[in-house]
Structure 1
């Protein structure tokens, strides 16, 4: 959660690095996903730090921009869900419940639905078409294969899970 201007800068830099972007500012065309992530982080900053009547017009403007861009990209991602290093691979449907908590350095692909209130650890990879739902926990360094349905907790770190329903398919050594 962003609690200061320094946190905002840290989150923005971690997100940029997670997306493997070399330049400092998004291009006018072609960087819509990165632009969405920047606006999301700014909304989080103004919600958590600058939540006074003076900053409300800025917050409302940023929320409007975020809503429009999110609709164009197919994203329904609430604020204060992702840790630093959020990496959305490209445009496409991504739906995340507001009670979800996702750790740092999470790579998420398109057509992903995360429902109810899962807690997802750090350094996780969520492949295309994955469905995660329920009050479950996913440990750190877990990779979730494409089109998997995760409906139970996986507490062993460093495993790869896949299938319907998901099960461990490999362990990292």
Structure 2
């Protein structure tokens, strides 16, 4: 399935574009308007970047927290650093391991969450920001010929952004 995502400045443009697409024979079930008064990004299924970032941070934490504990424990054993004078060496090693695990958790949050938030969402964050700014998005789906036809029709509205996507084929 192919998709054409078109960003228009206001509601009037979006309504006019929708009418032109319908008038030219594109079925209404293949045209979706996103924006205030129409479908939201969540209703349409655009991924939420913060949700993706949270998933990435959790996945990374499963690996980095145990690794951080082992690394912190080993570091304390090798260096013999005394953190507290009133504890024995085993407790010192465990404290070193806990500090290493906390460092692993912070790394997972920063790398998995921060990078996931900025990079992992693809264009969804851009589209959500445009919707939040009061713009409207028309998504047209169909075959290559339908997308070409819709592109030609929508260009007359001088959209702020127009982008075609092809859904990957699962093998």
Q: Tell me, yes or no, whether TM beats 0.5.
A: no
Structure with more contact order per residue of length (Cα contacts < 8 Å, sep ≥ 6) = 2
**Greater fraction strand:** 1
* Higher gyration radius (CA): 2
Structure 1 length-normalised TM: 0.23
**Greater fraction helix:** 2
Structure 2 length-normalised TM: 0.23
